[in-house]
């Protein structure tokens, strides 16, 4: 190649290079600076951003002060299309904040100037919020809606706002008295731990009111205002709280609502804040979002340091509204609970020492009318969540399986005094009548609850047939309309030898809750499987993304409660989706015939005097534990017109003599 050719190539290269330099107008550098700015504002930290007219540290301090009221929220900031004009650039910044349940979106314009080989952001508070001036910050105020009510049958309020007094020590009113002495006296008066309360009062600030207890203002309060005010610093402050009719009314089922704790705030992921009321346990916790509603929130721009007094005195309001989230009241939770029957069930169980339960439902609709857990349950929802061997009430399932193998209530069965299976001896309950031993009708064996007769049928009734018959009666089947955490029963589909024999008398691995026992009885009254229903509007008014109703599972637990005694908290196998072979009207009529015989000729004769429709029943006594003689669960289920009831006592002796009288009292008063 000649020199002239080389020279031409050099010239071409110089020309191209010059044109490339001319095309580099600084856009790439400006875009990098904008990208850094958007990222820094998103993180609420612009300490590393280079500004014109403002020290980076001072700009960062101002940004944090401007947005302090929105903490812990941070914006998402995206840069739009950059416009370049010589040594300046403008770019839109699109902000998006999550404020409560809504998004606050706005766009501002940022300006950059080139200084040497660097692009600097021109500082202006309006780059943070449209129209924001120096010396202005944002403020945020919340308006919290009242918690919605929980309603019973006919929309009667069960949980609603009721008057209370918060009793405590108001430290500014101590008047020189010893705080520890006053705290100790008040604690003893109201029945709380004196040492713990005195420590709490000592730790509080000098202007604090330290609550010791909240008392209902419903005529049952025995501690008077005079007794409280007689203690230096003692004070009773009137308030309203969402409460059930009484302290114990359906407590395990409904749960409670109270001011949110620090732990609940932390676990809520920003949903809850100090001063909110939230649910703990039961329906209050499960449907918290529906009942709580959503706060109204107003974001304003205002002069830094503006006081509440200045705002009140000014006209017009010196603040300007930037964004508003409208307050949304919670939606009342509608349930099928009958307040009179629920209270009656609790009154009946009030004198029972061990864990206990009464569940009443309407077979025609599946509506749960009462689900009471007695005082011995210690706050656990025995009625809905208890998992217990059902004993002889499970003979209803055996009998259905036997009908399906060709038997009738008049078929003959063998009822020996004892029966040995694989080395284990089974016997009938204490006091079993000798006249009903030997060759008897299935009706008679059912009426007197002959264990050996039903175990004798084990070779003709497989474990799989038992499982199928149980689901036919609504046991261990999902209840999609229940709307509450519950144990729906568990019947294994496979068992052999003594375990299968034990299943025939409702022991082994067969487990029912009082709810599922009531469903079983109700399916007989209905002539079809009952699907229990408790909550009527489980999805109303819930916040998007917030689960409203926990799925009903085979076994689940209620927050803050522990199953007493023999009730396991572990999960049983999941219930079936639907009953495999629904009980027929004819099968149910045969079962109803035998349940009536329990009252007319069996050991539940005490129910014959219950007024109204004839009562059909089945008793059950289930052994548990390793004591000798073993402890027993006492069961009885009954149908009475369009009412099905299950009564359970955890350590109860015989079903007929322990749970039976409780059932009679309930049915007689229920009318």
Q: DSSP string of 353-381?
A: -SSEEEEEEETTTTEEEEEEE-GGGTT--
**CA terminus-to-terminus distance, the chain:** 118
- Binned at pLDDT 50, 70 and 90, residue 1 comes out as low
Q: Cα–Cα distance between 390 and 204 in angstroms, integer? A: 52
Residue 627 sits in the same domain as residue 530:
yes
User: What DSSP assignment string belongs to 199-233?
Assistant: HHHHHS-TT-EEEEEEEE-SS---S-HHHHHTSTT
Q: Cα–Cα distance between 620 and 623 in angstroms, integer? A: 10
Q: Cα–Cα distance between 525 and 620 in angstroms, integer? A: 19
Global pTM value: 0.81
Residue 535's beta-bridge partner residues? Answer: 335
Query: Is the separation of the CB atoms in 184 and 234 below 8 Å?
Result: no
Residue 557: inside a domain = no
pLDDT reading at 554 higher than 80: no
Segment of 42-51, 217-226, 271-280 carrying the highest mean pLDDT: 42-51
Please state the length of the chain: 671
Residue 299 sits in the same domain as residue 176:
yes
Residue 219 sits in the same domain as residue 89:
no
Q: Cα–Cα distance between 337 and 249 in angstroms, integer? A: 11
Tell me whether strands 412-415 and 438-441 are parallel, antiparallel or unpaired: antiparallel
Cis peptide before 316 (omega within 30 of 0): yes
- Binned at pLDDT 50, 70 and 90, residue 571 comes out as low
Residue 40 sits in the same domain as residue 188:
no
* pLDDT at res. 564: 54
Q: Cα–Cα distance between 564 and 613 in angstroms, integer? A: 36
Q: Cα–Cα distance between 327 and 78 in angstroms, integer? A: 29
- Binned at pLDDT 50, 70 and 90, residue 2 comes out as low
Residue 616 sits in the same domain as residue 488:
yes
Residue 123 sits in the same domain as residue 167:
no
* pLDDT at res. 32: 95
Query: Is the separation of the CB atoms in 314 and 294 below 8 Å?
Result: no
Q: Cα–Cα distance between 548 and 48 in angstroms, integer? A: 44
Closest CA relative to residue 557, chosen from 385, 389, 388, 387: 385
State whether residue 107 is helix, strand or coil: strand
pLDDT reading at 23 higher than 50: no
* pLDDT at res. 131: 96
Residue 389: inside a domain = yes
Q: What are phi and psi of 373, to 5 degrees?
A: -115, 130
Residue with tokens 């060759």: 439
State whether residue 446 is helix, strand or coil: helix
- In this prediction, what percent of the chain has a pLDDT beyond 90? 71
Range with lowest mean pLDDT among 43-57, 193-207, 546-560, 630-644: 546-560
Residue-wise pLDDT tens digits, 609-641? 999 999 999 998 887 777 777 788 899 999 999
| Structural domain that includes position 18 | 14-134
Cis peptide before 312 (omega within 30 of 0): no
Number of independent structural domains in the chain: 3
Q: Cα–Cα distance between 135 and 170 in angstroms, integer? A: 38
Residue-wise pLDDT tens digits, 183-240? 999 999 999 999 999 999 999 999 999 999 999 998 889 999 999 999 999 999 999 9
pLDDT reading at 379 higher than 70: yes
Residue 75 sits in the same domain as residue 155:
no
Q: Cα–Cα distance between 454 and 457 in angstroms, integer? A: 5
Residue 320 sits in the same domain as residue 385:
no
State whether residue 660 is helix, strand or coil: helix
Residue 174 sits in the same domain as residue 286:
yes
Three-point CA angle 308, 309, 312, nearest 5°: 85
Residue 377 sits in the same domain as residue 440:
yes
Q: Cα–Cα distance between 409 and 403 in angstroms, integer? A: 8
3-state secondary structure 271-290: CCCCCCEEEECHHHHHCHHH
Residue 314 sits in the same domain as residue 403:
no
Residue-wise pLDDT tens digits, 126-143? 999 999 999 999 999 999
Closest CA relative to residue 558, chosen from 487, 650, 490: 487
Domain boundary among 134, 168, 201: 134
Query: Is the separation of the CB atoms in 413 and 453 below 8 Å?
Result: yes
Average pLDDT rounded to a whole number, residues 393-421: 92
* pLDDT at res. 655: 66
Residue 457: inside a domain = yes
Q: Cα–Cα distance between 604 and 610 in angstroms, integer? A: 11
Give Rg (Cα) of the chain.
36
Q: Cα–Cα distance between 488 and 498 in angstroms, integer? A: 25
Residues 6+ apart with CB under 8 A from 235: 167, 168, 169, 170, 173, 209, 228, 229
pLDDT reading at 285 higher than 90: yes
Residue 464's beta-bridge partner residues? Answer: none
- Reading the block at residue 549, the tokens are 């109703």
Residue 9: inside a domain = no
Residue 506: inside a domain = yes
Q: What is the CATH number of the domain that holds 262?
A: 3.90.1310
Provide the 10 A C-beta neighbour count for residue 539: 12
Whether the CA torsion 188, 194, 197, 198 is positive or negative: it is positive
């Amino acid at each position: 190649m000649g020199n002239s050719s080389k020279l031409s190539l050099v010239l071409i290269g110089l020309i191209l290079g010059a044109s490339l330099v001319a095309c580099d107008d600084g856009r790439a550098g400006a875009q990098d600076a904008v990208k850094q700015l958007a990222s820094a504002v998103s993180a609420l930290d612009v300490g590393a951003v280079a500004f014109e007219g403002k020290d980076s540290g001072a700009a960062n301090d101002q940004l944090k002060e401007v947005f302090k009221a929105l903490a812990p929220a941070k914006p998402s900031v995206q840069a739009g299309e950059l416009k370049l004009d010589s040594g300046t650039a403008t770019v839109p910044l699109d902000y998006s904040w999550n404020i409560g349940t809504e998004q606050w979106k706005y766009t501002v314009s940022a300006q950059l100037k080139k200084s040497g080989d660097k692009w600097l952001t021109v500082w202006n508070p309006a780059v943070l919020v449209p129209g924001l001036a120096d010396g202005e910050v944002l403020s945020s105020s919340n308006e919290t809606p009242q918690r919605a009510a929980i309603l019973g049958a006919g929309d009667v309020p069960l949980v609603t706002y009721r008057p209370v007094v918060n009793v405590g020590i108001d430290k500014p009113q101590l008047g020189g008295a010893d705080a520890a002495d006053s705290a100790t006296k008040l604690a003893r008066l109201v029945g709380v731990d004196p040492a713990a309360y005195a420590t709490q009062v000592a730790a509080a600030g000098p202007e604090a009111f330290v609550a010791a207890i909240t008392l209902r203002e419903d005529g049952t309060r025995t501690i008077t205002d005079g007794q409280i005010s007689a203690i230096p610093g003692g004070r009773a402050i009137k308030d309203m709280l969402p409460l059930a009719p009484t302290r114990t009314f359906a407590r395990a089922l409904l749960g409670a609502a109270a001011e949110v704790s620090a732990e609940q705030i932390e676990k809520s992921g920003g949903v809850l804040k100090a001063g909110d009321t939230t649910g703990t346990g039961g329906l209050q916790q499960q449907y918290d979002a529906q009942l709580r509603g959503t706060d109204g929130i107003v974001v304003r721009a205002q002069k830094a340091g503006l006081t509440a007094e200045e705002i009140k005195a000014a006209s017009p309001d010196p603040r300007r509204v930037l964004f508003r989230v409208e307050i949304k009241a919670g939606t009342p939770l509608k349930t099928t609970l009958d307040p009179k029957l629920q209270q009656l069930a609790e009154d009946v169980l009030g004198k029972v020492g061990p864990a206990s339960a009464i569940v009443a439902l309407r077979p025609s609709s599946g509506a749960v009318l009462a689900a009471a857990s007695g005082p011995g349950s210690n706050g656990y929802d025995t009625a809905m969540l208890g998992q217990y061997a059902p004993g002889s009430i499970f003979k209803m399932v055996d009998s259905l399986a036997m009908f399906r193998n060709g038997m009738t209530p008049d078929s003959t069965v063998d009822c020996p005094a004892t029966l040995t299976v694989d080395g284990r001896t089974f016997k009938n309950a204490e006091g079993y009548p000798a006249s009903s031993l030997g060759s008897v009708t299935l009706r008679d064996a059912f009426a007197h609850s002959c264990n050996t007769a039903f175990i004798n049928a084990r070779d003709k009734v497989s474990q799989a047939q038992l499982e199928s018959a149980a689901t036919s009666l609504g046991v261990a089947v999902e209840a999609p309309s229940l709307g509450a955490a519950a144990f729906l029963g568990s019947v294994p589909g496979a068992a052999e030898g003594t375990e299968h024999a034990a299943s025939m008398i409702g022991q082994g691995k067969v487990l029912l809750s009082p709810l599922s026992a009531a469903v079983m009885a109700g399916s007989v009254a209905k002539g079809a499987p009952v699907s229990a229903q408790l909550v009527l509007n489980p999805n109303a008014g819930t916040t998007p993304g917030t689960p409203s109703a926990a799925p009903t599972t085979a076994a689940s637990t209620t927050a803050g409660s522990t199953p007493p005694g023999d009730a396991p908290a572990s999960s049983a196998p999941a219930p079936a989706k639907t009953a495999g072979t629904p009980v027929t009207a004819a099968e149910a009529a045969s079962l109803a015939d035998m349940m009536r015989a329990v009252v007319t000729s069996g050991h539940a004769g005490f129910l014959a005097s219950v007024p109204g429709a004839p009562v059909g029943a089945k008793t059950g006594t289930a052994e548990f534990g390793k004591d000798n003689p073993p402890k027993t669960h006492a069961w009885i289920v009954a149908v009475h017109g369009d009412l099905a009831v299950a009564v359970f006592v955890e350590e109860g002796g015989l079903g007929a003599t322990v749970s039976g009288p409780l059932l009679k009292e309930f049915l007689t008063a229920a009318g």
